[in-house]
Chains A and B, each alone.
Chain A
Amino acid sequence: GENVEQHPSTLSVQEGDSAVIKCTYSDSASNYFPWYKQELGKGPQLIIDIRSNVGEKKDQRIAVTLNKTAKHFSLHITETQPEDSAVYFCAAINQAGTALIFGKGTTLSVSS
């Protein structure tokens, strides 16, 4: 089945710096790659996603890039703020196309 690897597991940055989280996936047929943010005590929430027919997508300070050949995709957060501190998960669709398989998560800490 689909396997998603996510790195790093923890990331600490200063406010205003950029943060990059990387994921790789195993199933070359996967074609949808969302990113979720989980704040303390809450369920994950979708922040951005990308489909396999595009290489990059931006939404204000957040961007996602996809390299289908290498089977990896990345989350880029620019001008980080303390409220960006959270756990971030990448995901890919399972082989049946019916459920999301998540990476192990990255705990991002932004210090002011």
Chain B
Amino acid sequence: NAGVTQTPKFRVLKTGQSMTLLCAQDMNHEYMYWYRQDPGMGLRLIHYSVGEGTTAKGEVPDGYNVSRLKKQNFLLGLESAAPSQTSVYFCASTYNRGLGTEAFFGQGTRLTVV
């Protein structure tokens, strides 16, 4: 099993450009999450999904959009990238509700916006 796979692993964007980060899991997990990790800020929840076709806002959703058209995939979109979105992005998934189940993380996507 691959677990949680993120694509791409690295990306440099110019301010104003758009891009989509792809997260794929092969564990048949219902719940999927996008976090960003910044120095001194820990992991902050951007958006999450509790099932195919559903999405919800997390702690820091502004400037991002998400879609969960297929159960195994969770896409994170940046419509107009800003330098403040320079970060490492992590996708995670859990089998069931966030309560009491292990979250499996991808390897991360390092995004730089110049």
Binding site for B on A (CB under 8 A): 1, 6, 9, 31-32, 34, 36, 41-46, 49, 51, 89, 93-94, 96-105
Q: Is the CB of A97 within 8 A of B42?
A: no
CA distance A97 to B98 in the complex (A): 6
**B: interface residue count bin:** 20 to 34
Which residue of chain A has its CB nearest to the CB of B47?
Answer: A99
Q: Which 6 A-B pairs have the closest CB atoms?
A: A43-B105, A104-B42, A102-B43, A46-B102, A105-B42, A99-B98
Residues of B within 8 A of A49 (CB): 100, 102
Q: A6-B42, A43-B105 are in contact. Are A98 and B50 (CB under 8 A)?
A: yes
Q: Is the CB of B48 within 8 A of A44?
A: no
CA distance A43 to B102 in the complex (A): 13
Residues of A within 8 A of B13 (CB): none
